[in-house]
Amino acid sequence: MKKLTKELIRETGYKFGLDLIGFANIERFKNAPERMNPKNIFPEGKTVIVVGKRILRGGWRGIEEGTNWISYTYFDYHGLLNTFFIPEPLYQLACFIEDFGYEAVPYYPGVPEAQPPVKPLRKNFPPPDVHLAIRIAGICAGLGEIGWSKVFLTKKFGPRQRLHAIITDLEVEPDPLIKPGSICKRCMECVNDCPSYAIPHIKENKKIQIKIEDYVYEWADIHLGKCTLSYHGGDSRVSPFIHKDFPGWNIDARKQDFSEETAYKFCWTLSTGRWRKTEEFPSGYIIEGHAMLQKWGEGGSFGICGSRGCMRSCFNYLEKKEVIEQRFKGGEFIKRKRWLLPYKVKKG
Mean pLDDT of 139-163: 98
Q: For the chain, what percent of residues have pLDDT higher than 70?
A: 98
- Check whether 162 has a pLDDT greater than 90: yes
DSSP string for residues in 243-256 = HHHSTT----GGG-
305 neighbors 231 (Cβ within 8 angstroms): yes
Q: What is the pLDDT of residues 47-94, one digit of tens each?
A: 999 999 999 999 999 999 999 999 999 999 888 999 999 999 999 999
Q: pLDDT value at position 112?
A: 66
pLDDT of 299: 58
What value does the mean pLDDT take over residues 7-11?
Answer: 98
Mean predicted confidence (pLDDT) in 274-294: 95
Backbone φ, ψ for residue 106 (5° rounding):
-75, 135
- Sequence-ordered alpha helix ranges (H) in the chain: 6-16, 61-65, 70-71, 80, 87-98, 134-140, 189-193, 224-231, 242-245, 260-272, 288-296, 314-320
Q: Is the pTM of this model over 0.85?
A: yes
Average pLDDT, the chain: 95
Burial class (CB in 10 A: 0-12, 13-18, 19+), 48: buried
* 326 has a pLDDT exceeding 80: yes
What number of other Cβ atoms are within 10 A of residue 38's Cβ? Answer: 25
pLDDT tens digits along 97-139? 999 999 999 999 987 667 788 999 999 999 998 999 999 999 9
Predicted confidence (pLDDT) per residue in 16-46, tens digit: 999 999 999 999 999 999 999 999 999 999 9
The burial of 153, by beta-carbon neighbours within 10 Å (0-12 exposed, 13-18 middle, 19 or more buried), is given as buried
Which pLDDT value is given to residue 2?
Answer: 83
Phi-psi region of 177 (alpha: psi -120 to 50; beta: other; left: phi over 0): beta
pLDDT at position 347 over 80: no
What does the pLDDT look like over 229-255, one tens digit per residue? 999 999 999 999 999 999 999 999 999
Percent of the chain predicted with pLDDT > 90: 91
Half-sphere exposure of 238 (CA within 13 A, CB side): 28
Q: In 3D, which of 43, 173, 162, 34 has the Cα closest to residue 105? A: 43
